[in-house]
Amino acid sequence: MEQTVKMNHLLVLSEQLYKRISESENKTPYAFNLLDLAGVNEPFTSLILALIFKYAPEQRNPLCTSFIRRFLQPCGFDMNWVKAPVVTTEKEHIDVCIHEPGKYAIIIENKLKGAVFQRNQLARYIATLRKNNRFRDNQIFIVILPNDNKFLQHLPMSVFRLPEDWNSNNQDRACKTNDACSCLCDCGQSCPQCTTCEKDLMQKFSSRTTVEDKELLEWLKQDCLSLIPKKELPLKSAIMQFYDFLNGIFNNRFNQKLAMEIVDFLRDKLLKNEQNIEIQNKGEQWKTVLAKINELDELKSGMRELQKQLSFELMQDWRHRILQYADLHKSYNIEVSNNGFRLFIQGAELGCWYYIHDDEIEPYWGCSAKTEEQREVVAKILDKAGVPHADIIEWTTGHTLHGDERFLSFIQAAQDLKLLEK
């Protein structure tokens, strides 16, 4: 009973705070972000970064050079190497790569939208750049862009490990597990392949690897905007939209005046006694706030459990509708499981699932295309279905709360394109 009263009090306090913020003269002004509205995925954000790097007035590369100087010069990068950088996206599966043949290669691994590492991912990129003596180890640098500063706490061991069969498909590697991300070594197991696996790449590349989260925001706002002439208004506007978009990812869309108003509101609501007089003892104030933080943690935990249950129920609703559709179109061979459904169209896999990671469940749609022909099929289907996308890669995904509708739109698009036989 007491716990219920505490939770109800927190919910009432939350509603009062929301009302205060919505009526405050310090609230964030009316704004919208085009990237938020478009629901862009990671490949799209990689493309934005690449286009920023490619800005080259009079054959100079001020933004690319600024990025390298700020983030990689402290890792031993020699700025004299930079003459005519080449920027590519999603080539050889590397999100963004900045390189000059025989001089240097910078791997930019984009995890801004929270995608997990695949097995051997960074090791495979290193091996790709080593191939045919294109680059030596001391010429290869790595920049990881996570969506929060705790990202690397869960970095799988296999990310920097290179098995002999690294160049084979993800699901064909001998050390694979049942998911798309892990090796046996991540589960404390081993296989014959592990004995010949190159295991020390993390140590070799640690000095030339940097992880940048909110530093990227500062670079965009402070460095980039100061280096771009006023006449380059479209580029400045694009960078500001991207900056604001990343602020949203990092939960950083907040202003100081509103923050102080919220502090004053909480002080008034939490730090007064039954006679509505402020508690004078600072130790008692501190204990009161700590108790409320603990209660909020319990409320958040309960909300997470509720979200997980609703995510599962959402998937069951999708599953019910897709099962009905599949029963009417048995020739399509739609595969339906407890956590999703999929269909192969000319070798390309399209479907909707929910993904479980760190006790969170996220419903998403996805397309798997391993060959150029399959990528063309996926691109045609997404275009026909009206789904925004960047270049199609091996595994293209997006968040959705309407997985059944999205899946059926894929099927309808494939029918219209005559890619799916009835």
Q: pLDDT digit string (tens) for 82-91?
A: 999 999 999 9
Does an H or E element contain 94, and which?
A: strand 94-100
Residue 331 pLDDT: 67
Phi, psi (degrees; rounded to nearest 5) at 421: -80, 135
- Helix, strand, or coil here: 302? helix
**Residue 360 pLDDT exceeds 70:** no
Residue 373 pLDDT: 87
**Residue 422 pLDDT exceeds 60:** no
For the chain, give the longest Cα–Cα distance: 79
Antiparallel, parallel or unpaired: β 335-337 and 395-399: unpaired
Higher-pLDDT residue of 77, 383? 77
Q: pLDDT digit string (tens) for 195-213?
A: 788 888 989 999 999 999 8
Higher-pLDDT residue of 360, 163? 163
- Contacts of 295-300 with C-beta under 8 Å, sequence gap 24+, read 295/6, 295/7, 295/10, 296/10, 298/3, 298/7, 299/7, 299/10, 299/11
Higher-pLDDT residue of 137, 253? 137
Highest-scoring range by mean pLDDT, 93-97, 115-119, 245-249? 93-97
Percentage above 90 pLDDT, the chain: 28
Q: Closest Cα to residue 288, out of 18, 280, 300? A: 280
Query: How far is 284 from 264, CA to CA, in rounded Å?
Result: 17
C-alpha dihedral sign at 372, 117, 248, 318: positive
Antiparallel, parallel or unpaired: β 360-368 and 395-399: antiparallel
Phi, psi (degrees; rounded to nearest 5) at 404: -65, -45
Residue 369 pLDDT: 84
Domain range list for the chain: 2-18+256-311, 38-164+198-246, 314-416
Give the ranges where 250-281 is alpha helix by DSSP (H): 256-270
Cα Rg of the chain (Å, integer): 25
**Residue 38 pLDDT exceeds 90:** no
Residue 394 pLDDT: 67
The answer to whether the pTM exceeds 0.85 is: no
Q: pLDDT digit string (tens) for 155-211?
A: 788 888 888 888 887 777 888 777 667 787 777 777 666 778 888 898 999 999 999
Higher-pLDDT residue of 161, 18? 161
Going by pLDDT thresholds of 50, 70 and 90, the confidence category of residue 129 is very high
Q: pLDDT digit string (tens) for 98-113?
A: 999 999 999 999 998 8
Question: What's the mean pLDDT in 68-90?
Answer: 95
Q: To 10 degrees, the CA torsion angle through 285, 287, 289, 290?
A: 160
Going by pLDDT thresholds of 50, 70 and 90, the confidence category of residue 1 is low
